């Protein structure tokens, strides 16, 4: 099937990866909604979250009901998130755990709620985990803990009676390092040939929407990049 006329929602649509996704799907003539703290001017519809509680943000997302008027979405891509380091002895340990929960777990929970309501049967729902969170992450405990929760959420949503539409695909991408402007700023001397290009992810998602090389439901897909070439490797369960 063609992506012409498809309808997608990008949760975190103003971030580095979210912005690339918005532009990519717009170029494919899709209708694109963005959910974020600030608008993405290239999206067809923006839903701005200003509430500071999880329930408050959930209530704000009900505005999508009025916009869609019962129309279903072909895909929801949750690419919101952030990073914080620190071990249990760090001065900002509790603060970092809280911010990571808000940026990774809250967004994933709310995107899941949207998928249960607005995703079409057979639609695509992606969440964003992290490859390092498959193991312990002592130098970034809050980050690893929040991302591991996302991995568990995917496992739950992929089971029968999870509340997602029938035949929908739910997976998480598990990048190591994404090639974002912020990462380049803070790690200018890193080996950028091992960083995953954002455009690769956009094309991967578009393929899944078209039914091309769709992974198994519930997959945790590690993104390994070497010499500028990226491979998608399902994590062992």
Q: How far apart are CA 28 and CA 85, in angstroms?
A: 37
Q: How far apart are CA 62 and CA 47, in angstroms?
A: 10
198, 181 Cβ separation under 8 angstroms: no
Is residue 143 flagged as an active site residue? yes
Q: Which of 31, 125, 143, 205 is catalytic?
A: 143
Q: Between the CA atoms of 11, 13, 19 and 22, what dihedral angle is there, to the nearest 10 degrees?
A: 80
- Closest by alpha carbon to 80, among 95, 63, 100, 61? 100
Partners of 140 in beta bridges? 86
How do 7-11 and 73-78 pair as beta strands?
Answer: parallel
Distances (CA, A) of 204 to 24, 39, 145, 160, 201: 11, 24, 26, 25, 5
Q: How far apart are CA 178 and CA 201, in angstroms?
A: 10
User: Which residues are tagged catalytic?
Assistant: 143
């Amino acid at each position: 099937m063609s992506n012409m006329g498809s309808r997608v929602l990008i949760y975190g649509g103003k971030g580095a990866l979210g912005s690339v996704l918005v532009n990519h799907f717009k170029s494919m003539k899709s209708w694109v909604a963005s959910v974020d703290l600030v608008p993405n001017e290239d999206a067809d519809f923006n839903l701005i979250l200003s509430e500071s509680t999880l329930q408050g943000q959930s209530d704000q997302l009900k505005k999508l009901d009025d916009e869609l008027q019962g129309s279903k979405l072909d895909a929801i891509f949750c690419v919101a998130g952030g990073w914080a380091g620190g071990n249990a002895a760090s001065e900002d340990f509790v603060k970092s755990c809280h911010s990571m929960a808000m940026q990774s777990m809250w967004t994933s929970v709310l995107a899941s709620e949207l998928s249960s309501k607005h995703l079409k049967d057979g639609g695509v729902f992606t969440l964003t985990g992290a490859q390092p969170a498959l193991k312990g992450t002592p130098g970034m405990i809050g980050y690893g803990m929040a991302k591991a929760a996302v991995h568990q959420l995917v496992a739950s949503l992929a089971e029968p009676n999870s509340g997602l539409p029938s035949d929908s695909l739910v997976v998480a991408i598990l990048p190591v390092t994404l090639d974002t402007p912020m990462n380049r700023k803070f790690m200018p001397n890193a080996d950028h040939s091992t960083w995953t290009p954002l455009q690769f992810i956009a094309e991967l998602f578009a393929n899944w929407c078209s039914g091309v090389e769709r992974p198994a439901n519930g997959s945790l897909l590690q993104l390994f990049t070497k010499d500028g070439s990226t491979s998608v490797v399902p994590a062992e369960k």
